[in-house]
Amino acid sequence: MDASIRNATVMDDTRILELINSHAAKGLMLSKTPYKIYCNIQSFFVAEDSNGKIIGCAALSVMWKDVAEVTSLAVDNDYFGKGVGKALVEKCIERARALKIEKLIALTYQDKFFERLGFKLFDKDAFPRKLWRECLECPKLEMCDEKGYMYIL
Ligand SMILES: CC(C)(COP(=O)(O)OP(=O)(O)OC[C@H]1O[C@@H](n2cnc3c(N)ncnc32)[C@H](O)[C@@H]1OP(=O)(O)O)[C@@H](O)C(=O)NCCC(=O)NCCS
């Protein structure tokens, strides 16, 4: 399926929240508030189908000079397995390269997906904790059971 990926606008807020929070309700990712979306809207990409329906989103969150994180990656259930998630992560990779960032990371339960895209497992506990800003909002914080995946650019 050919999803087109574009920069998000503030008009995409409701749909981005729907996508993220529907998966967050199943414990697959962190939930987001409208405030968080507006603050970070410039980091967001959305995927559209040929009718202009938003079927996925992702954000590139710069953590430090050398590293950025893929966050808020969410695809509409009806469009799983059609390359939408891959297209979104590839867009994050492209943006990270343009920013001259060296490493892209993801904290995730989606091992196979990230492995398929060339990410490698890494020891997330070896990363300075102050960099994990998103984690400060996570109820699991010290008991994180997500795996860390890294892609060297
Ligand atoms: C993870 C997620 C973004 C994947 O999106 P998707 O559009 O279904 O994935 P794609 O179709 O682009 O898959 C790309 C590749 O990964 C593989 N893949 C995707 N999910 C997989 C899974 N759960 N198990 C095994 N392989 C998987 C696909 O088969 C495909 O492989 P291919 O290139 O050989 O065809 C989507 O399932 C999702 O939104 N999940 C819920 C929210 C979530 O967990 N987000 C991640 C937070 S870090």
Q: Which residues line ligand 1 (CB under 6 A)?
A: 23, 28-29, 73-75, 80-86, 106, 108, 110, 112-113, 116
Tokens representing residue 147 in the block: 């795996």
pLDDT (tens digit, 9 = 90+) per residue, 16-61? 999 999 999 998 999 999 999 999 999 999 999 999 999 999 999 9
Domain count, the chain: 1
Please give the angle made by the CA atoms of 42, 5 and 100, to the nearest 5 degrees: 55
Amino acid identity, residue 104? Answer: L
CATH classification of the domain holding 22: 3.40.630.30
Task: Give the domain range for residue 21.
Answer: 4-152
User: Measured between alpha carbons, how far is residue 80 from residues 3, 66, 94, 113, 135 in Å?
Assistant: 12, 31, 22, 11, 26
pLDDT digits over 113-139, tens only?
999 999 999 988 877 766 777 777 777
According to DSSP, residue 8 is labeled -
**Probe ligand 1: pick from 32, 116, 117, 132, max atoms within 8 Å of CB?**
116
CA pair distance 137, 152, nearest whole angstrom: 27
